[in-house]
Structure 1
Amino acid sequence: MFEVSPVFYIVLVLYFIVILGIGLWSGKKNDGTEDFLVAGRSIGPLVGGAAFAATQMSAGTFVGTLGVHYLTGGSFLWIWCGLWFGWLIAATLVGPKFQAFKGLTVPDYVGTRFNSKAARGISALLILVAYTVYLTAQYQAGGNIIQTLFGIPFIWGAIITIGITLIYTMVGGMRATAYSDFVQAIIMAGCFFAALPLLFGKAGGTEFVGAFLSEFSPNMLSWHFGFKELLGFGAAFGFSMAAAPYELARMYTLKDKKTVKLAIGYSFIFQAIVGISVAAAAMAIRTLYPYMPSPDIASTIMAINILPPVVGSLIILAIISAIMSTVSGIMMVSASAFSHDFYATMIKPNASDKEKMTVNRIAVLVLGIIPLFLALKKLDIVQFIVVLQASLTASFFFATVVLGLNWKRGTAAGAIVSMIGGFFTALFWYIGGNPLGLNEVIPGVIVSVVLFIVVSLMTKRVPNESLKPFFKDVT
């Protein structure tokens, strides 16, 4: 536990008032399921870009990535190349078609494109599994931060993280998530970038930091990770970002195709600022505090022990913002997968709009609480839990989304076998300790793509009616 300045409490309370205010404002504007799930398709490019960036830059960035840079040095920066390649695929081959479809959930796309309730249900189930893993990382980060700050048990830190996010998500839905993400993205990018001169000043300047790290561990400024490791990390993030359900769901909220491309462009700016700032900050912290019990607490110690109270308070808010924005987005995607794609489609198709809204909110609550029990296990450092989730998501969804939107011959059987085969290939590869030194995403995506193509060519074509929303030349 550290001595926390009263300024921190004031800033924290003001922040929570703003975020909860956004939730209440959004709740009043919600008029039915479409408003709750896709914000009435009213989000513009700047807010949309901030939402893309804020959801992607989770605890994995501000706790996990910073922790990995603290532990290993600068080579981990190369993973951003893979991530941005995934965003380029999303901007050119995925986003415009996805937005034009005007669905409510990601499994909506799967069910319509492949004319299959089974494919829709399997995609919803796999989303729930993968995002339970992702939420585990976010809760673990939130618990670590609050435990480090206030000395309270880890579980209460995780519960506080969940509680605030649940309130504004359950009340305001996707509109609250989008606008709170806009506020949070500005805090994230602005605070970390502004903190760098202060950090390096405390650490003795850039030359001293470089000299210290070179002597402390030469790999810090060269290649701690090898080519295969960096390729695996980059592929995990890139493949998953091209077809990430929590980002695809946000594309439904945007006004039109042009807005999708502009929003992804704006998100690049936020991500570039944060990526460089996080890596540089980690180097300065390692110089000041060469030994820590866990790299996941490096960002918290930076905020409380190194920076002035106001700046440190804003940094903590940036980290909490990153966690809350991702948790909120994932809660919405997971809850809608259950309420819309299981309950309203398969269990009770004639449910009223009011009943669907109630089930949505209950699903947010229940599915938001379940990962808490996994977080208590502390499965790994935060960044590597995030990489596992990205690998699983890419392995079951990349082929179904990217090939499905751009290859008419893809069939329901191809999608089903591809999703199941890719998911279990990645899972068993991970459990087996990543043979040949390859990250689980590489065999997972390869198997899913091959299965999608081979099985699709061997099975019955999808009716033209299901292809029309995605291919202009289908009549």
Structure 2
Amino acid sequence: MFEVSNEFYYIVFGYFVLILSIGLWAGQNNKTSESHLVAGRSIGPLVGGAALAATQMSAGTFVGTMGVHYLTGASYIWFWPGLWLGWVVSALWVAPKFQQFKGGVTDPDFVEQRYNSKLGKVIAALLIIVAYTVYLIAQYVAGGIVMNTIFGIPVVWGAFITIAVTMIYTLKGGMRATAYSDFVQALIMAGCFLAAIPIVFYQAGGLNFVGSYLTELDPAITGWHYGFKDLIGFAAAFGFSMAISPYELARMYSLKSKKTVRLAIGISFILQAVVGISVAVGGMAMRSLFPVLNNPDNASSVMAINVLPPIVGALLMVAILASIMSTVSGVMIVSSSGVSHDIYGILKPSATDKEKMLLNRIAVVVLAFIPLYFALNPFDMVQFIVLAQASLVASFFFALVVFGLNWKGATRLGALSSMIGGLITVLIWLFILDSPFDINEVIPGVIVSTILLLVVSRFTKPVPNENLKPFFKDVQ
């Protein structure tokens, strides 16, 4: 544990108070499950764009990505174009149609309506819950690392504190609290990292010194640690998943209009670009200052505490906590709604709104603590847990959403075979075939799920026009 000033503690404590206050304020108008899950469809482009960016920039960005850049150098930055291409696909062909679907408040609602399948809705909800349980492991590990670095407490207690604070404002405020807290958190993230990088490079001896030192230490750090196939795999995993990311699509329901959706995505681009560049160069600067860290995921925490002035360091640490908590909150909303709205709503169609709200809050608590067990024994660096989750989501959801929104021919059986086939392909590729040819599992997963959707749909009963109307203007 490094020496931490009193100002550091005050700023971190003040941040927790601020976020909890936003949750309590935002939750005052949440009288129905719809207002809880989609914020009354009232979020504008600025808050919405910041929320999209904050949710995407998770522990994988500030702890994991910086750790990878610390360990491997510059080449990993090439995953960002793939991720941004995913945002472009979403902005052009996915997100606006989701926002205009007024009959839905969750991603599985789309599956049920578009494919006329209650079974598809339940399967989608279950797969999303499983995938995001994996994702939460990475967030909890990162939260534990950050708290351990700041306060010297065991990682498990750090993870527990992260869960507890996030759970309180999510339970009370729902999507509205998540959106407004994410707005604050995104500004903190981008602003603090942008301000911190010049200080870090000054402490490290300047840009030229860092570059020459790292090249001498290992030429691959400033060159190409990763090969072409690796980078294509990283970019594909994040790009495919970002185009249809369930926790990002769920936020589309909360935005005011189709125009708001595209403006929000544009704003999120700017914030992500600032952070992406800052994290890359910051990780490499930290390698020149601290050539041997026990865990590369500690690079951002060590930078905040041991390199930056106390107030700047405290704000940066708050930015890291913000990235973790914003993502955990978004995942809690999506996973819990899968239980209360999607699965329970199918099992008990007569369920009242009050019953669903109660079950939603119970589900938030239960689903928040399940990944904690797995987080106690982390199996990889944070970023690679995130990468595995991205591949999993893309494999069962990409074809289903993108083709379903833009091709009227996709059928119910085509959708079911696509989800299940894509998932099985990824699992076989990873755990039985052991990633042959060093090709990332997302590529065969998306290819198989797409082929199954197209082929099975050609030979099975079409979806009734009534189900297509919300998504295709030319359907009578």
Q: TM-score, normalised by structure 1?
A: 0.99
Q: Which residue of 1 aligns with 2:37?
A: 37
Deviation at 1:347, TM superposition (A): 2.0
Correspondence for 2:79: 79
**Aligned residue type for 1:257:** K
Is 1:364–2:364 an aligned residue pair? Answer: yes
CA distance in 1, matches of 2:430, 2:73: 24
Q: Identity, % of aligned pairs?
A: 65
Displacement after TM superposition at 1:306 (Å): 0.5
**Aligned position for 2:399:** 399
Structure 1: which amino acid aligns with 2:186?
A
2:224 match: 223
> Is the partner of 2:105 in helix, strand or coil?
coil
Q: Name the aligned partner's letter for residue 433 of structure 1.
A: D
- Say which SS state the counterpart of residue 125 (structure 1) adopts: helix
User: Which whole-Å CA distance do the structure 2 matches of 1:454 and 1:47 have between them?
Assistant: 41
SS of aligned partner of 1:370: helix
Count of matched residue positions in the alignment of Structure 1 and Structure 2: 474
What is the Cα deviation at residue 433 of structure 1?
2.3
Say what the alpha-carbon RMSD is for the aligned residues: 0.7
**How far, CA to CA, are the matches of 1:155 and 1:96 in structure 2?**
40
What is the CA–CA distance in structure 2 between the aligned matches of 1:153 and 1:7, rounded to whole Å? 22
Match of 1:437 in 2: 438
1:295 aligned residue: 296
Mapped partners of 2:429, 2:148: distance in 1: 34
Task: Note the 1:291-440 alignment, pairs <5 A.
Answer: 291-344=292-345, 346-431=346-431, 432-440=433-441
**Cα distance in structure 2, aligned partners of 1:148 and 1:25:** 31
In 1, the alpha carbon distance for the partners of 2:13 and 2:290 equals: 30
Determine the C-alpha separation between the residues in 2 that align with 1:437 and 1:27.
47
Separation of aligned partners in 2, 1:15 and 1:300: 17
- CA–CA distance in 2 between the matches of 1:150 and 1:261? 41
Please report how far the alpha carbon of residue 463 of structure 1 lies from its aligned counterpart in structure 2 after TM superposition.
0.2
Provide the secondary structure at the position in 2 that maps to 1:330. Answer: helix
Q: CA offsets per residue over residues 50-104 of structure 1, 9 Å max, x none? A: 0000000000000000000000001111100000000000000001111000211
**Whole-Å separation in 1 of the counterparts to 2:49 and 2:61:** 17
In the other structure, the counterpart of 2:210 is 209
Distance in 1 between residues matched to 2:133 and 2:358, nearest whole Å:
21
**Displacement after TM superposition at 1:190 (Å):** 0.3
> What is the distance in 2 between the residues matched to 1:197 and 1:405?
45
Give the letter for the 1:31 counterpart.
Answer: K
CA distance in 2, matches of 1:201, 1:256: 45
More deviation, 29-38/186-195: 29-38
Aligned to 2:447: 446
User: Which secondary structure state, in structure 2, belongs to the residue aligned with residue 316 of structure 1?
Assistant: helix
Distance 1:419 1:8 in 2: 47
- Superposed displacement of residue 166, structure 1: 0.3
Q: Distance in 2 between matches of 1:458 and 1:360?
A: 39
Does residue 465 in structure 1 map to residue 460 in structure 2?
no
* Greater mean deviation of Cα atoms: 232-241 or 23-32: 23-32
Match of 2:46 in 1: 46
The equivalent of 1:104 in structure 2 is 105
Quote how far apart the aligned CAs of 1:355 are. Answer: 1.4
Give structure 2 stretches of 5+ with no counterpart. Answer: none
CA distance in 2, matches of 1:272, 1:135: 24
Give the CA deviation at 1:149.
1.9
Cα distance in 2, alignment partners of residues 128 and 180 from structure 1? 23
Match of 2:283 in 1: 282
Summarize deviations over 1:416-459 as a string: whole Å, max 9, x none: 11001101111221223211110000000000000010111110
Deviation at 1:31, TM superposition (A): 2.0
Report the Cα distance in structure 2 between the residues aligned to 1:192 and 1:84, rounded to whole angstroms. Answer: 20
Q: Which runs of 4+ in 1 moved over 2 A?
A: none
Letter in 1 for 2:69: H
Q: How many angstroms does 1:377 deviate by?
A: 1.5
Give the Cα–Cα distance (whole angstroms) in 2 for the partners of residues 295 and 434 of structure 1: 24
Deviations 1:384-421 (A, max 9, x none): 00000000000000000000000100011111110011
* Deviation for aligned residue 1:465: 0.2
Q: Which residue of 1 is the match for residue 166 of structure 2? A: 165
**Structure 1 residue 354 displacement after superposition:** 1.4
Structure 2 CA distance, aligned partners of 1:264 and 1:427?
A: 32
Give the CA deviation at 1:244. 0.4
